[in-house]
Each structure stands twice: as structure tokens, then as C-alpha cells.
């Protein structure tokens, strides 16, 4: 399990506050969370299928796919560099 403290999360909170205000994020928080979980599991050694994340979060697979597609360009700003480097992020499956 990955545990992030304030040091890692502060820049990401700021990102969300700024981007939500700009209005491009038109997804529910649970849909965003499910897409980020999917993104992170694709970077880990224990990859999880989309179906498992859908069942665990209660978010439809299509909704997770669409949210992932929206968030994919911002992966480097969403995922702390302490968890994944730029090279790792290039290995994410493209939407």
C-alpha cells in the first residue's frame, strides 16, 4: 500500500483546486478517483484489470475509461514523482 503525506499531496491539492475552477474537470470525484486508481495500478507491479476497479469503486468501466482519457494528459501532475518518474508515465496505456 502506498501512503502519501502532506509533502507529496500539497502540490496535487493545489492542482485540483486550480483546474476544477477552470471547469475542465466535469467528472464526479468518485469517477476521478477510480480513474486515478486505475492509472496508479497500471504503474505498479500488481496491475489490476479495469473490471476489478469498477467493482471496487462502483463506477462503470466506461466511465472509468472516459475519465482516464480526460486525465491522461495530466498524469505527470497527478502522480507524485516519488511514486513514478516521467519514463514510467510514458509506459501508461494510451487512452
Query: Tens digit of pLDDT for each residue in 26-82?
Result: 778 888 888 888 988 888 888 889 999 999 999 999 999 999 998 888 888 777 777
- Residue 62's pLDDT is 96
State pTM to two decimals: 0.71
pLDDT for residue 20 is more than 80: no
Q: If you classify domain 28-95 with CATH, what class do you get?
A: mainly alpha
Identify the burial level of 82 via C-beta atoms within 10 angstroms of its C-beta, where 0-12 means exposed, 13-18 middle and 19 or more buried. exposed
The full set of domain ranges for the chain reads 28-95
Amino acid at each position: 500500500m502506498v501512503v502519501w503525506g502532506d509533502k507529496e499531496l500539497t502540490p496535487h491539492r493545489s492542482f485540483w483546486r486550480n483546474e476544477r475552477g477552470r471547469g475542465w474537470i466535469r467528472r464526479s470525484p468518485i469517477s476521478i478517483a477510480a480513474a486515478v486508481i486505475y492509472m496508479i495500478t497500471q504503474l505498479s507491479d500488481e496491475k489490476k484489470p479495469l473490471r476489478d476497479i469498477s467493482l471496487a469503486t462502483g463506477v462503470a468501466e466506461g466511465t472509468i475509461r472516459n475519465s482516464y482519457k480526460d486525465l491522461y494528459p495530466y498524469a505527470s501532475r497527478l502522480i507524485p514523482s516519488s511514486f513514478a518518474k516521467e519514463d514510467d508515465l510514458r509506459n501508461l496505456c494510451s487512452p
